[in-house]
Amino acid sequence: MDFDFNDEQQLLVSSLQGLFHNYAEIPPAGRGETSWFSADLQRRLVQGGFFDTARQVGTLEAAIVVMEAARLPVVVETGASALVAPMLLDEPLEGPVALLSGDLSKAQRLLPVAKTALVDLGDDVVVLEVEPADVEPVETMLAYPYGRFRTPPDLAKGRRLGAGAVEPLRQWSRVALAAECAGAAQSAVEFTVAYVKDRKAFGQPIGSFQAVQHRLAQCHQIMRALRYNVLHAAWTREPVRADMAAAYAQMHIQKLVFDLHQFNGAIGLTTEHKLHYWTFRLRALQPEAGGGDASALAVADKLWGAAA
Amino acid sequence: MEFAWTPEQDAYRQTLKDTVEELLPDNWATEIAPHSYGSKEQIAYSKIFCAEMAERGLLVQQWPAEYGGGDGDAWQQWILAEEMMLVGEPRGPQYMNVNWIGPAIMRSGTPEQKAEHLGRIAGGQVIWCQGFSEPGGGSDLAGMKTKAERQADGGYLVNGSKIWTSYSPSADYCFLLARTGEQRKAISIFLIPMNLKGIEIQTYPGLVGKGHLNQVFFTDVAVPDSMRMGEEGQAWEIITYALRFERVSVARFHIGRKVLDRAVAQLQREGRFNDTAVRVRAGRIAAMLEAGRLLSYYVIDQRAKQGSDDVNGNIARVSVSQATQELQAFIMDYTPDALTGGDYVLREFFRANLSSTIAAGAYEIQLNLIAQGALNLPRNG
């Protein structure tokens, strides 16, 4: 067991950070928006071959791609393209890829920018081309673009992957959402720690108060746990580890968002303050893949058998 | 980064499982283990078990060969901790000797102290207690009042008292901290036999299992210079080193998972594990225990590579504490009969974790250390 990145993994992180360096701020055109999708960075990730990482290097390395991207304030779609699609299909999908499930008349995450959708039908998975004209963007405080189909999509036009694709789709969707949570949580915690060192009240930095320190220490612990849960789930490729990583992430989102917003105060509710790019990404991921209770239930099913 | 056990680690774990299977007596689960690892019954058995383990080279495998070990690494120490915890810790309090008292003596003891103590610890025949906490002291370890006053004709005279001194009624030695000066951290370490004149022990009845709640009184206890470990006033540096091993030394997530499995098995037998609410709770706790496992493994990895884990031990401890608290709540919500004559494994887990957020550095102290060591937050002005 070795918790340090090897040379190849370190090189991957360095490459990503080099690429992401220019995307650490929301461009002027996006200031004040609740989210900003960077088509430019999405293209660069494709061109750089980062979405081939799972196939060519490994799933742990693909999870690193997702985590690092989720640390940015700008949005790119990495979870489905880097982790889910490569574990379901031999050939790459045209991205961005939206992961759809449930009631397709409702707004779905990333649908307004998606070229392809992977649709979980319960007993099958459909690969569906997405026509931008068919999608109506919806306004949201969540930090991803959301949109809904103007008319119900014709699933018959999609390619069916078969019942055997359902469980892998759910497994890697959970790893992907946990990886995005890990990256977003890391940035949100780091941002808040820097803020409480700077922001003064009662004549001293608010980060000097034990009431603040203890809650931030707990957030730091959660963030660290998220990271290793994800990497472990990606490395072992065991379905129950994916469920555990997602369950742990989703059950702690409420605490993370509460504490981190609490210490940023009202300024954290402005879209000029960057916190919301990460905290409302976490909020968006909270109900994904059925939500935290479904993830925990999946853990129970796998560890102790399904309910009688 | 990778998460595989090596073939050697797998083989070592299997050896431990086989050895435990062979050594534990038939009445272990019915007559010895239910008394908890601080009880006289389990302490007496620990001397038999640890001696056997020592004879097979399995008690201090991770120690350097010059002190009777096998030149193993931190992973071997951890695998040993997991396997022992899983069966109810048949080493009794001797886990403490192996994990941090021995290593502290190796690091800071005189040649005579090493000769006196390390062989006995490695032989599995000696019981230690730690004289740290004091009445009214709480988490303020440096505020201790027990004094070791230097005498004109040499040696020290120790006066004061220590409390919550687990295992002290059965202990052969005490790893004692005492004040040797007026400055706040002017504290020294003494390795003293418990049969010195002037030492008295009072035992308090309590909730946390036999052998744990004691008060040790020191009245004009004459302690020679040769029993002081390290220089006068050097205790802080030595115990800071030693307590890192104390913080993440018990594989609570490992026994936690076994306890959760047992609780679920009981619920299944009773036809009560089909309720979605119960299943979700159990799944969440399994995920929390797994998080604690990984953060603990990270600590062991750092120890194996660097010999130390700094603030990561605090992070792991906080994570495991949260998981074990949730598991205690699960036991009370769904298998409360564990506390009224039901499964003793659940009961003893519940009991052991009554103090796990207080002992070895309170939960809030762990959070303080994370805030300072990991987040570099300013101290309150």
- Measured CA to CA, the distance from residue B76 to residue A42 in angstroms comes to 45
Q: Which of A73, A23, A65, A66 is nearest to A190 (CA)?
A: A73
State yes or no: pLDDT of A256 exceeds 60. Answer: yes
Q: B248-373 architecture in CATH? A: Up-down Bundle (1.20)
Q: Which residues of A touch B378 (CB under 8 A)?
A: 197, 204-205, 207-208
Looking at residue B29, the DSSP 8-state letter turns out to be: I
Both tokens of B128, joined, read 């230690």
Interface of A with B in 202-221 (CB under 8 A): 203-205, 207-210, 212-214, 216-218, 220-221
pLDDT exceeds 80 at position A67: yes
Strand (E) positions, chain B?
Answer: 128-131, 147-150, 156-163, 173-179, 187-193, 199-203, 214-223, 228-229
Torsion of CA B98, B201, B170, B207, to 10 degrees: -80
What is the CB-side half-sphere exposure of residue B99 using CA atoms within 13 A? Answer: 26
Angstroms from B323 CA to nearest CA on chain A: 11
Residue A173 has pLDDT above 90, yes or no: yes
User: Which residue of B lies nearest to A193 if distances are taken between CA atoms?
Assistant: B375
Out of A3, A196, A303, whose CB is closest to B298? A3
What is the band of A171 on the pLDDT scale with cuts at 50, 70, 90? very high
- pLDDT average, residue stretch B296-314: 88
pLDDT of residue A168: 97
pLDDT of residue B266: 98
Instruction: Calculate how close chain A gets to B319, using CA atoms only, in Å.
Output: 7
Tell me which residues of chain A, numbers 273 to 292, contact chain B at a CB-CB cutoff of 8 Å: 292
Which of A218, A229, A300 shows the shortest C-beta gap to B280? Answer: A300
Say how many CB pairs under 8 Å bridge A and B: 164
Distance in angstroms (rounded) separating the CA atoms of residues B201 and B366: 30
pLDDT of residue A249 exceeding 80, the answer is: yes
Contact, B89 vs B19, CB < 8 A? no
Give the pLDDT band of residue B249 (cuts 50, 70, 90).
low
Q: Which fold has domain B130-233?
A: Butyryl-CoA Dehydrogenase, subunit A; domain 2 (2.40.110)
Using 50, 70 and 90 to split pLDDT, how confident is the model at B141?
Answer: confident
Q: Which residue has the tokens 């026509």?
A: A131
Write out the DSSP string of chain A. Answer: -B-S--HHHHHHHHHHHHHHGGGSS--GGGTT-S--B-HHHHHHHHHTTGGGHHHHT-HHHHHHHHHHHHTSSSB---IIIIIIHHHH-SSPPPSSEEEEES-TTS-EETGGG-SEEEEE-SS-EEEEE--GGGEEEE--SSSS-EEEESS---GGGSEE--GGGHHHHHHHHHHHHHHHHHHHHHHHHHHHHHHHHH-EETTEEGGGSHHHHHHHHHHHHHHHHHHHHHHHHHHH--HHHHHHHHHHHHHHHHHHHHHHHHHHGGGGGSTTSTHHHHHHHHHHHTTGGGHHHHHHHHHHHHHH----
Contact A214 B286 (CB under 8 A): no
d(CA B284, nearest CA chain A) in Å? 5
**For position B307, what pLDDT does the model report?**
74
Cis-peptide into A132, omega within 30 deg: no
B7-126, CATH topology level: Butyryl-Coa Dehydrogenase, subunit A; domain 1 (1.10.540)
According to the model, what pLDDT value does residue B60 have? 95
In chain B, the percentage of residues whose pLDDT exceeds 70 is: 98
A173 touching chain B per CB within 8 A: no
SS3 B218: strand
pLDDT score at A308 = 85
Name which of A150-159, B249-258, B325-334 the model is least confident about.
B249-258
CB pair distance less than 8 Å for B282 and A304: yes
* Residue A20: other Cβ atoms inside 10 A: 18
More confident residue, B139 or B223: B223
- Tokens (6 digits) for B154: 């040499």
CB contact under 8 A, B380 and A4: no
Confidence of residue B248 (pLDDT cuts 50, 70, 90): low
Kindly report the nearest CA distance between residue A195 and chain B, in angstroms: 11
CA angle A89, A95, A100 (to 5 degrees): 75
Q: Which of B268, B280, B318 sits opposite A293 (nearest CB)?
A: B280
Average pLDDT, chain B: 93
Contact criterion met (CB below 8 Å) for B306 and B266: no
Facing residue for B367 by CB, picked from A203, A217, A247: A217
CA-wise closest residue to A128 among A160, A96, A104, A105: A160
CATH of domain A166-304: 1.20.140.10
Beta bridge partners of A109: A146
Rounded distance, CA A111 to CA A86, Å?
A: 19
The crossing angle, in degrees rounded to 10, of helices A275-285 and A166-198 is 150
What is the model's pLDDT at position B360?
A: 79
* Locus of tokens 């409480």: A196
Which of B367, B369, B372, B376 is best to mutate for the A interface (most A CBs within 10 A)?
B367
**Quick one: which of A3, A27, A92 has its CA closest to B302?**
A3
A45-64 pLDDT per residue, tens: 999 999 999 999 999 999 99
ipTM of the complex: 0.97
Residue B106 has pLDDT above 60, yes or no: yes
Residue type for B25, please? P
Residue B139: which pLDDT band, with cuts at 50, 70 and 90?
Answer: confident
- Cβ under 8 Å to B: A residues 36-95: 60
Counted residue by residue, chain B has a size of 381
The pLDDT of residue B381 is above 60:
no
In the structure, what pLDDT confidence band is assigned to residue B247 with cuts at 50, 70 and 90?
low
> Are B375 and A213 in contact (CB < 8 Å)?
yes
- What single-letter DSSP state applies at residue B322? H
CB-count exposure of residue A123 (10 Å: 0-12, 13-18, 19+): exposed
Please state the domain extents for chain B.
7-126, 130-233, 248-373
Contact A307 B274 (CB under 8 A): yes
- Report pTM: 0.95
Say if A271 is an interface residue toward chain B (CB within 8 Å). no
Alpha-carbon distances of A250 from A12, B206, B275, rounded to whole Å: 27, 38, 21
Tokens of A20: 């992401």
Of B276, B284, B364, the CB nearest to A251: B284
**How many whole angstroms separate alpha carbon B160 and alpha carbon B173?**
17
Would you place residue B25 in the very low, low, confident or very high pLDDT band (cuts 50, 70, 90)? very high
Closest of A187, A220, A192 to residue A205, by C-alpha: A192
Residue A290 CB contacts under 8 Å (≥ 6 apart), including other chains: A298
